[in-house]
């Protein structure tokens, strides 16, 4: 494996770790029925990624910076998610949180590890594709997948409103 591929793997691993934390915070918004924040997080991620990747392509920068675009957009969204959770839902401290991990029940740790593995599972197909095909096929597949992902964000509106509509109907209120 050459040096450039190793750099891609390290950057992709960092992205997966950061994205698992973003998914954790978006699930908090879902559990408190604050779907509008979940919507803004997903749209914000897509929009930031589009801008950063567009700049990298326009400036003809090297390919490893594409992974940095993913990492930068995820970091910014993670910071925004942390701020929104602290401001809207509840206050927490990372220092206190790490000391409480030992006292936390196993279900929290299972959920956290589940998010990490789900994110990993979501990207393992690129490794499998590389074994059977080549880097060019991975690039074409990823490009088409990301275009499809942009169109699928339209479905986020439905997802964001669905729980609220169900809650209103259950309470016999007008939608």
Residue in the block written with tokens 């891609």: 8
Per-residue pLDDT tens over the stretch 27-80: 888 877 777 888 888 888 888 888 888 888 899 888 778 778 888 888 999 999
Q: Is residue 119 part of a domain?
A: yes
Q: Judging by beta carbons within 10 Å of its beta carbon (0-12, 13-18, 19+), is residue 29 exposed, middle or buried?
A: buried
Q: Is 14 a residue whose pLDDT tops 80?
A: yes
CB-CB contact of 101 with 111 (8 Å): no
Question: Which range marks the domain in which residue 37 is found?
Answer: 3-170
Residue 66 lies in a domain: yes
72 occurs within a structural domain: yes
The model's pLDDT over 136-160, given as tens digits with 9 standing for 90+, comes to 888 888 788 777 776 766 666 666 6
Mean pLDDT, rounded, of the chain = 77
Q: Is residue 98 situated within a structural domain?
A: yes
Structure tokens given for 12: 């992709």
pLDDT for 42: 84
Flag whether 47 is in a domain: yes
Distances (CA, A) of 175 to 36, 66, 164, 171: 17, 43, 9, 10
| Cα 82 versus chain centre, distance | 14
Tell me how many domains the chain contains.
Answer: 1
Domain assignment present for 141: yes
Residue 22 above 70 pLDDT? yes
Q: Are 88 and 37 in contact (CB under 8 A)?
A: yes
Angle between helices 3-31 and 64-84 (to 10 degrees): 20
Q: How many helices (H) and strands (E) does the chain have?
A: 7, 0
Short-list 94, 71, 86, 78, CA closest to 23: 78
Distance of alpha carbon 123 from alpha carbon 43, whole angstroms: 20
Per-residue pLDDT of 129-139, as tens digits, reads 777 887 788 88
Helices (H), 32-134: 35-58, 64-84, 94-100, 106-132
Residue 73 in any domain: the answer is yes
Residue 175 lies in a domain: no
CA angle in degrees (0–180, nearest 5) for 23-151-128: 65
């Amino acid at each position: 494996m050459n040096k450039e591929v190793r750099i891609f793997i390290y950057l992709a691993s960092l992205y997966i770790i950061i994205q698992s934390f973003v998914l954790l915070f978006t699930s908090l918004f879902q559990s408190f029925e604050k779907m509008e924040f979940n919507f803004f997080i997903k749209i914000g991620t897509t929009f930031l990624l589009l801008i950063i990747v567009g700049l990298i392509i326009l400036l003809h920068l090297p390919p490893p910076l594409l992974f940095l675009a993913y990492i930068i957009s995820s970091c910014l969204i993670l910071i925004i998610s942390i701020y929104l959770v602290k401001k809207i839902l509840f206050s927490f401290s990372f220092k206190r949180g790490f000391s409480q991990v030992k006292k936390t029940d196993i279900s929290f740790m299972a959920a956290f590890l589940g998010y990490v593995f789900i994110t990993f599972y979501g990207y393992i197909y690129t490794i499998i594709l590389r074994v059977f095909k080549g880097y060019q096929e991975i690039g074409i597949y990823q490009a088409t997948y990301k275009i499809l992902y942009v169109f699928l964000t339209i479905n986020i509106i439905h997802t964001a409103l669905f729980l609220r509509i169900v809650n209103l109907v259950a309470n016999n209120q007008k939608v």
